[in-house]
Structures are given as structure tokens and as C-alpha cells.
């Protein structure tokens, strides 16, 4: 007799009957340890979207009135200042999600596009700027969104569209220096040097007078055969660059306690991440750069500038 047969005989001797249970309901109700907030239809979820769980929890756990969208926008801008662009994109996306004010939402999309461009994620940058423009294509942020969109399209290989949006930027705000500069670059790349010179002169009149902009103008003048003027502008650009480099070195020594920076330095100002304007992406032959902020139209005196 085998062990199995012996066990079977002993079970019969005890006369024990095991419970058959109540079975499962029809239809079967599955058992899940996850909270109801995570009950998401998988057919509606992008499998590569790593933030779907976080976004779903936000919708269920956090009310819009509990989020200070402008404070969160500042968090994103601070991330930008320290080059933490991935964290910045997340912060700006949250701002757009929770903002009740369309102006704040649009500003978030513009800055999100800038952060994606810094990461060379130009497809995402294009999408963010288009989201901003879909909110209001004639607002205080629209010109910034247009010129940033032009920059991202150029990097993405859509050169014809890039010029169209650069032109749209200066149509919205003719005092927008960054828009004139970008338009000058795109025109120059297409061999339209005379029009490019007109645009870059407008950018300089609006305060964008730094080494990179002057270098661009020198190259445009060379294309037009104006070699003497191009050489003068190039020399001025080199001098301005040297002064800027000297300023950086002096400020670094000052921070390290090795000396004091001198006074009266004439250097090109650095473009800062600004609330209310987003950050403009500068496209130049040597890559992105910082530029003088000409300010919005409402901040400039109409008697201080003239466009040709």
C-alpha cells in the first residue's frame, strides 16, 4: 500500500467533509489592494507616460484652491536658474494643470517650452508653445511664445515655419527685440541679407546690443559686401566679449574672497529668467545665448526708439 492510499483510507475513517465555499459572484468582482484613485482605464493610458499615476492622484487628492499656482511657477523658474530643466518641466506642467488664471497658465506653457528646448526636446517645446498660443494668441506672452516656437521649429528642421512665427512675433509686438533678432537670423540663413540687416538694426535699437548680436550683424554685413563696416562691428563685439569675460572672472574672485571687483565696468547685460515674459530662446550661428531684455511694450518709452 502506498502512502497516498493510506492517507485516503484515514480520511474516510474520520468522515470529515471539507467546505466547498460559496464560490465567486457572477460576474466576478476582482480583488485589488490599490486605492480607488488608481482605478485607471489602461486603454486610455500611454504606456510610456511615467507621470500618469502622479497626475491621477493629483486630480483626486489635491483641490485647485489648495495650490498656489504662482508660487509653484516660481519654483519652476528657480529650477531653471540652476539648470534643473527636467524638474522645471514638471513644475510648469503642474502650474498649467492647477492655474485658474489663463495668464498664469499661458506663462507656464511658455516656460515649459523653454525648459524642453534647453533639454533639446524640441518636439515637446513646440507642443508647449502651441498650447500657450491656443490660450491667447494676442496676449502679453504671445510674442514670446511665437519667437520661442520659431526657435524650436528651426532646431526641429521646420525652417519655413520658423520664419513665419518669427514674423508673427514682431507683428504682435513691434518693440520686441528678441523677435527682431530671430527674424534677422532666419532671413540671413535664407540669403535675404538686406532684410536681415534691417531686422537686426531694429533689435539693436531696442536694447539688444551685446557681443553675439554684433557678431551676427558683422556676418550679415559681410554677406552684403560691406567689409570695412563688418570689421569695425566685429572688433566692437570682441571688445565687448572680453569685457564680459573679465567681469565674470572678477565676480568669481569676489565670491571666492580673492579680491574686489572694480567699478564702472561696461559689459553686455545678461538675460535673466523673468516673470511675466518667459525666457526667449536666442538662435545664433554659435548656439543659444543671453541677450539684453528690452522689456515689454508697456515698459518702454515710445520716444526712446524708432524702427525703420
Tens place of pLDDT for every residue, the chain, 308 residues?
555 555 555 555 556 565 565 665 555 555 555 555 555 565 665 554 545 445 544 554 555 566 788 999 999 999 999 999 999 999 999 999 999 899 999 999 999 999 999 999 999 999 999 999 999 998 889 999 999 999 999 999 988 899 999 999 999 999 999 999 999 999 999 999 999 999 999 999 999 999 999 999 999 999 999 999 999 999 999 999 999 899 989 888 888 875 433 333 332 222 223 333 443 444 333 333 333 333 333 333 444 444 55
Greatest Cα pair distance, the chain, in angstroms, is 115
Q: Which CATH architecture has domain 61-173?
A: Alpha Horseshoe (1.25)
Map residue 49 onto helix, strand or coil. coil
For residue 127, give every residue at least 6 positions away whose Cβ sits within 8 Å of its Cβ, in sequence order, or none: 113
- Do the Cβ atoms of 114 and 279 come closer than 8 Å? yes
Q: Is 174-256 in the same CATH topology as 61-173?
A: yes
Q: Cis link prior to 305 (omega < 30° from 0)? A: no
Residues 107, 92 contacting (CB under 8 angstroms)? no
- Domain spans of the chain, in order of start: 61-173, 174-256
Global model pTM greater than 0.95: no
| Exposure b/e, 215-232, CB count within 10 A at least 16 = b | bbbbbbbbbeebeeebee
CATH class in words for 174-256: mainly alpha
HSE-up (13 A, CA, CB side) for residue 271 = 24
Amino acid at each position: 500500500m502506498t502512502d497516498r492510499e493510506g492517507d485516503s483510507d484515514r480520511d474516510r475513517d474520520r468522515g470529515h467533509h471539507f467546505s466547498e465555499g460559496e464560490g465567486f459572484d457572477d460576474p466576478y468582482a476582482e480583488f485589488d489592494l490599490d486605492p480607488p484613485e488608481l482605478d485607471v482605464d489602461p486603454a486610455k493610458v500611454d504606456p510610456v507616460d511615467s507621470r500618469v499615476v502622479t497626475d491621477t492622484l493629483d486630480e483626486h487628492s489635491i483641490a485647485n484652491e489648495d495650490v498656489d499656482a504662482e508660487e509653484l511657477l516660481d519654483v519652476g523658474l528657480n529650477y531653471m536658474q540652476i539648470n534643473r530643466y527636467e524638474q522645471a518641466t514638471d513644475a510648469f506642467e503642474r502650474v498649467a494643470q492647477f492655474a485658474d488664471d489663463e495668464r498664469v497658465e499661458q506663462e507656464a506653457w511658455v516656460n515649459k517650452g523653454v525648459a524642453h528646448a534647453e533639454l533639446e526636446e524640441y518636439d515637446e517645446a513646440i507642443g508647449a508653445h502651441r498650447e500657450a498660443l491656443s490660450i491667447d494668441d494676442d496676449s502679453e506672452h504671445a510674442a514670446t511664445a511665437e519667437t520661442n516656437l520659431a526657435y524650436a521649429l528651426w532646431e526641429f528642421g521646420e525652417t519655413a515655419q520658423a520664419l513665419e512665427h518669427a514674423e508673427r512675433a514682431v507683428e504682435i509686438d513691434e518693440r520686441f527685440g528678441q523677435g527682431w533678432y530671430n527674424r534677422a537670423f532666419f532671413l540671413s540663413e535664407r540669403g535675404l541679407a538686406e532684410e536681415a540687416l534691417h531686422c537686426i538694426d531694429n533689435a539693436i535699437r531696442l536694447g539688444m546690443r551685446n557681443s553675439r548680436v554684433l557678431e551676427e550683424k558683422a556676418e550679415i554685413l559681410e554677406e552684403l559686401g560691406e567689409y570695412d563696416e563688418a570689421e569695425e562691428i566685429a572688433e566692437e563685439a570682441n571688445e565687448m566679449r572680453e569685457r564680459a569675460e573679465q567681469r565674470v572672472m572678477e565676480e568669481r574672485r569676489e565670491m571666492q574672497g580673492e579680491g574686489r571687483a572694480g567699478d564702472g565696468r561696461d559689459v553686455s547685460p545678461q538675460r535673466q529668467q523673468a516673470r511675466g515674459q518667459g525666457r526667449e530662446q536666442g538662435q545664433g550661428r554659435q548656439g543659444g545665448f543671453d541677450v539684453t531684455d528690452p522689456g515689454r511694450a508697456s515698459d518702454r518709452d515710445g520716444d526712446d526708439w524708432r524702427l525703420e
